[in-house]
Amino acid sequence: MDKNEEKKQRLRLSSAQVVPISFLLAIFLGTLLLLLPISTAPGEYTDPLTALFTATTSVCVTGLVVVDTYAHWSLFGKIVILILIQLGGLGIISVTSVLMLMAHRKFSLRMTVMLHDSFNLDSLEGLMRFLVRVFRGTFIVEGIGALMYMPSFIPRFGAKGIWYSVFTSISAFCNAGIDIIGPDSLIGFSRDLPVMFTTMLMIVMGGLGYIVWFDVIHGVETGIERRYSPAVMFRRLSEHTKLVLVLTAVLIFGGAAIIYALEFGNPGTFGGMSAGDGILNAIFQSVTFRTAGFAAVPQENLRESTCAFGDLLMFIGGSPVGTAGGVKTVTFFAVLLNAVSYIRDRNETVIFGRRFSADTVRKAAAVATVSFVISLIMTVLLIASDGLSLNDGLFETLSATCTVGLTRGITSTLSVSGRIIIIISMYLGRIGPISMALFFSGKGSDRNKVSFAQGRFIVG
């Protein structure tokens, strides 16, 4: 290999490095656009930190904001924010790939591998077809969501209701939690069943993951064709899909039951509602806690115990290969099940008659550990910077690192250093702390060529 070729090899970035850089570039471009006077409602310049914060929360589909989105930004600014949300939800690499596909450009092997890593897939087979289905499915679901919002929004807001419906649908599906309806998120719609149901549906659809979508669609089509019962259809789904569906149902409805019990009689949240409205809002809170960021009740009025439970739901997040944040349901379950398997003296971690591979369990443990450490460090820094209580600081930081977007009325009051801490937290949460670690780690392929003697260490 000559010197020029060797130099090119060193400069070539891996997919673990391209993904963080692509998000940085999108944030930088979004910040520049939001700095323009045309982006604000008064037609004035926005300070750089506010523009950077808004661009980051949009690209990282978090939802924490330091200015009211509906009032501060002009129509142009809101369109920029919506595009950034869509980019962040789908992933920069996948959007670039579709543009290349539309331009009839061929994909290099390197680009294909980056797409594979971006979607966390097991195989390169059928990747382009998968990508096209992702985009088609995304736009169809977002379009259906917008149509479902319109009967509620158009009578209330007039023609603007169409725009509000489109924005809210995309924001909900991408789990961004940013809205342009007013200063109080969806609190004014806490008793509006169609709006609440549509928002939950969009959040869950985005959080399930595309692999689950396509497996369920294929299973239902095959089941109808062969006249299978619903139970048989479920059994024939892949083990990943079955696990995601079961975990999602347990977390939503189990979480709702706990939240309702904790908030029962609280005049600041469910206390003044009927039993039906209280249950609806408990389910909504359970859904939005795990990654969405829309609020139907004031989060600062939640009891301390509810916030602590919400911290756990935020950390778990949604499911893999979707728009949700957190460590992901399957990741958390793999770590938990591995501990249970060890306690029960089982050599393998098994669910639905299938075992998790050792590499999968190691990856799950690494993701959960690094995410926990990053969240803990950022919480300590935020508390030290802004003098917050432990509950408020942890809630705000987990909301950022897990790209949730809920706040107890703290985000807009943060100091400059506090806002910078949250910006870093949102960025790390979206690209994943593991991706950032890989960014600096290099290939490391030679590190496994040396085998060390086993040491004697005591744990537990």
Q: Which residue has the tokens 């979004």?
A: 30
Residue 136 lies inside a defined structural domain of this protein? yes
The Cα 225–Cα 219 span in angstroms is 10
Each residue of 68-117: pLDDT tens digit?
A: 999 999 999 999 999 999 988 876 556 655 555 555 555 555 555 555 55
Range of the domain at 297: 15-436
Task: Please give the structure tokens belonging to residue 3.
Answer: 């010197």
DSSP state of 251: I
Residue 389 lies inside a defined structural domain of this protein? yes
Give the global pTM. 0.87
Residue 8 lies inside a defined structural domain of this protein? no
Residue 3 lies inside a defined structural domain of this protein? no
Which of 50, 60, 52 minimizes the C-alpha distance to 31? 52
Which residues are 73's β-sheet partners? 40
- Within 10 Å of residue 163's Cβ, how many Cβ atoms? 17
Residue 452 lies inside a defined structural domain of this protein? no
Task: Please give the structure tokens belonging to residue 326.
Answer: 């957190």
Task: Please give the structure tokens belonging to residue 204.
Answer: 């869950």
Count structural domains, the chain: 1
The Cα 185–Cα 174 span in angstroms is 16
Which H or E run contains 397? helix 390-401
Per-residue pLDDT of the chain (460 residues; tens, 9 = 90+): 455 544 444 444 555 566 777 788 889 999 999 999 999 998 889 999 999 999 999 999 898 999 999 999 999 999 999 999 998 887 655 665 555 555 555 555 555 555 555 555 555 556 677 778 888 899 999 999 999 999 999 999 999 999 999 999 999 999 898 999 988 889 999 999 999 999 999 999 988 888 899 899 999 999 999 989 999 999 999 999 999 999 999 999 999 999 999 999 899 999 889 999 999 999 999 999 988 889 999 999 999 999 999 999 999 998 887 778 889 999 999 999 999 998 988 888 888 888 998 888 988 898 899 899 999 999 999 999 999 999 999 999 999 999 899 999 999 999 999 999 999 999 988 877 556 555 555 555 556 667 778 777 777 6
- Within 10 Å of residue 450's Cβ, how many Cβ atoms? 6
Residue 445 lies inside a defined structural domain of this protein? no
Residue 23 lies inside a defined structural domain of this protein? yes
Angle ∠(187,193,195) on CA atoms, nearest 5: 60
Task: Please give the structure tokens belonging to residue 315.
Answer: 């950390």
The sign of the torsion formed by the CA atoms of 361, 367, 370, 375 equals negative
The Cα 329–Cα 89 span in angstroms is 18
CA atoms within 13 A on the CB side of 193: 3
Phi, psi for residue 349 in degrees, rounded to 5? -100, 110
DSSP state of 253: I
Which residues 6+ apart lie within 8 Å of 192 measured at CB?
152
Residue 441 lies inside a defined structural domain of this protein? no
- DSSP secondary structure string, 101-149? HHTTPPPPHHHHHHHHHHTT-S--TTHHHHHHHHHHHHHHHHHHHHHHH
